[in-house]
Amino acid sequence: MKLLSTSILTVSLGTAAMAQDGQSDPELPRSASSLSQTEIGTVSPALARYGRDTVVEGLWKRPQLSRRDRSLVTVAILVARGQTFDLAHHIEGALDGGVTPVELSETITHLAFYAGWSNAMAAVDVARTVFAERGIAADGLPAASPDLRQIDERAEAARKASVGQLLGTASPGLAEFTTDPLFADVWLRPDLDPRDRSLVTISSLMANGQVAQLAGHLNRALDNGLTEEEAGEVVTQIAFYAGWPNAFSAGPVVREVVEKRPN
């Protein structure tokens, strides 16, 4: 399939390009894109500089969010926005940065529901090339139907009540599928921590400027163990990978949620 070979070429070429750049700090991605500094410089020497000094040596070095979390957030952003151009590069970076194949698999599955089936399918098509190249096989992937985590009945009852208030009888199908499979199955799958599911979810919402759903999921993220500092730094990662306006739409929501949290 043509998209497949494209991915292969992007990956290998990207890797070659990075080698040229000679960046090798295992704590940092080798570059901000599958395009090499040289390739970027043929259009914008400034953008090559910002990619190296501001993004790789600046953003990615900040301690407020771990390299592993930044990679998970960045992959979530690209999948959620349907941006496959650098996706293979960032999936490779995520695997190099401590995100497991199992977690990447669950992230794409989770985002099929939060960012649309077609974005997830395009991501699968990129990921399967990277997985194949790294020899990640079926036995290294999450089960289709594993034993699920225990559901939090009180949180679930509150969630159902708020869905009822939002939708009334306008879309019974949406209400049903939100209960099962989304909250009675997907969210309870064991191979991605609730904290990481929340991290991927708020990244997806921020990446697409979907602030209407952000406050609720951000509170859930903080309940699930994401720290307030990490939440604020996700907004910084969003600025670079989803653009400043989406970060400035998310920032005030993070501020409000954090200020309203009981300490």
Q: Pick between residue 224 and residue 249 the one whose CB is nearest to a second copy.
A: 249
Does 9 bind a second copy (CB under 8 A)? Our answer is yes
CA distance 168 to 20: 58
Q: Kindly write out the interface string for residues 155-184 of this chain, putting x where it contacts a second copy by CB under 8 A and - elsewhere.
A: -----------xxxxxxxxx--xx--xx--
- For a second copy, give the closer residue by CB, 98 or 141: 141
Smallest gap from residue 199 Cβ to a second copy (A): 15
CB 55 within 8 A of CB 229: no
Residue 189 in the binding site for a second copy (CB under 8 A): yes
Cα–Cα distance measured from residue 91 to residue 78, given in angstroms and rounded to the nearest whole number: 10
20 counts as binding a second copy under rule CB under 8 A? no
For residues 40 and 23, give the distance between their C-alpha atoms in angstroms, rounded to a whole number.
16
Which two structure tokens, joined as six digits, stand for 212?
């209407």
Sign of CA pseudo-dihedral 220, 205, 230, 36: positive
Looking at 66, 68, 82, 215, which residue binds a second copy (CB under 8 A)? 82
Q: CB of 98: closest distance to a second copy in angstroms?
A: 19
Q: Tokens 């099962």: give the residue.
A: 180
Alpha carbons 200 and 76: distance in angstroms, whole number: 6
All residues at 6 or more sequence positions from 19 whose CB lies less than 8 Å from its CB, including other chains: none
**Stretch touching a second copy by CB under 8 A, among 20-28, 82-90, 92-100, 150-158:** 82-90
Residues 211-250, interacting with a second copy (CB under 8 A): 212-213, 231-233, 235-236, 239-249
Q: Which of residues 24-53 bind a second copy (CB under 8 A)?
A: 32-35, 39-51
Cβ nearer to a second copy, comparing 148 with 155: 148
